[in-house]
Structure 1
Amino acid sequence: MKIQEIREIIKLVDNSSIDEFTYESEGTKVKLKKSGSTVSASAPVQASAPAAEPAAQPAKAPVSTPAAKAEELISEEAPEVPAAQEENMHKILSPMVGTFYQSPSPEEEAYVQPGTKVSADQVVCIVEAMKLFNEIEAEVDGEIAEILVKDGQLVEYGQPLFLVKTK
């Protein structure tokens, strides 16, 4: 089960009159319980999870605001962008929530690497959302200084993906 799917379930339960929800599939169990203004989320994953992604730790915590706090239990932390940056750095931001991919397919090379010269209309990555693969363009002419997210990582709207050194 993907993180995005779990988030959708949290939103649906939060907006419904359901007080408790349990879902089990292929060794993954998600249990949501809502009483008053408190939501608990539990998502243990068996150690036999695919080797491509590390097994998630069980998460269980009461939260005060159902939708916002419950998402914190399953969200991945975005790497911090250094505060002191040169003035000629441009951030390429994610235009949507989705999964970041550096290449058009697993067998192909990444669109860009640090040091790659890019033009404004050049594709630098793909953000997949709901089975739609959206090509993200560089937006500026310059050189890729840093890739701020990992391949296959869930990204949020407005999250910085790349730093581009502009001329």
Structure 2
Amino acid sequence: MFKIQEIREIIKLVDSSSIDEFVYEVKDAKVKLKKNAGVVVTEVKPAQVAPVQPAPKVEAPTTAAAPAPAKEEAPAKAVTVNDDASLHKITSPMVGTFYAAPNPESDAYVKVGDKVDDETIVCIVEAMKLFNEIEAEVKGEIVEVLVKDGELVEYGQPLFLVKAE
């Protein structure tokens, strides 16, 4: 059986090469990767917009003092945990379905506040009926879970934020 790190390395090598299909088979395990299956080109035409007529100019009476315009305050920037560059992101090594627990009746592998090490299983990503256990690959504390159970995830999509020790 392949380790997730080996699969990630194979994906990176195939992605950076010019080959479109790769198959690697060892005893009871097989990895098959395909890329550039086809290119879809979509043409979008801009909508027709009627020209806007300028509004007639209206002058304010000079006898009444106009109220001073209210100061507009810039909206405060929302600070989220995602903005912290010191946090390690555990990303999805493949496209698939994210599962937080080994089965629907079980508790999640990890939750916010849990301590993990580099071999701790944090979730499962199902791809083509194969359930791939995802390891933390870092020692630290889970700060945020970025996806919901049963949600589709993309290759490289952040799944968890970990405060590394």
- TM category (shorter chain) comes to 0.5 to 0.7
Q: Which residue of 2 aligns with 1:128?
A: 126
Alignment of 1:1-167 (within 5 A): 63-64=42-43, 84-87=83-86, 89-167=87-165
Change (3 A) 1:158 1:86: closer
CA distance in 2, matches of 1:83, 1:103: 23
Aligned pairs, number: 94
Structure 1 residues 144 and 135, CA, compared in 2 at 3 Å: closer, same or farther?
same
Q: Secondary structure at the match of 2:83?
A: coil
Please report the TM-score for the alignment, with normalisation by the length of structure 1: 0.52
Structure 2 CA distance for aligned equivalents of residues 124 and 144 of structure 1: 9
Secondary structure in 1 aligned to 2:143?
A: strand
Q: 4+ residue runs of structure 1 moved beyond 2 angstroms?
A: 81-84
Note the alpha carbon deviations across 1:73-109, whole angstroms, 9 max, x for none: xxxxxxxx8652052x100010000000000000100
Q: What CA RMSD, in Å, does the superposition of the two structures yield over aligned residues?
A: 2.4
Structure 1 pair 83–118 and aligned structure 2 pair: CA distance change class (3 A): closer
5+ long unaligned stretches in structure 2? 1-36, 45-79
Q: Distance in 2 between matches of 1:64 and 1:154?
A: 27
Percent of aligned pairs with the same amino acid: 62
- Mapped to 1, the partners of 2:151 and 2:159 lie a distance apart of 11
Give the letter for the 1:64 counterpart. E
- Aligned to 2:149, the other structure's residue is in SS state coil
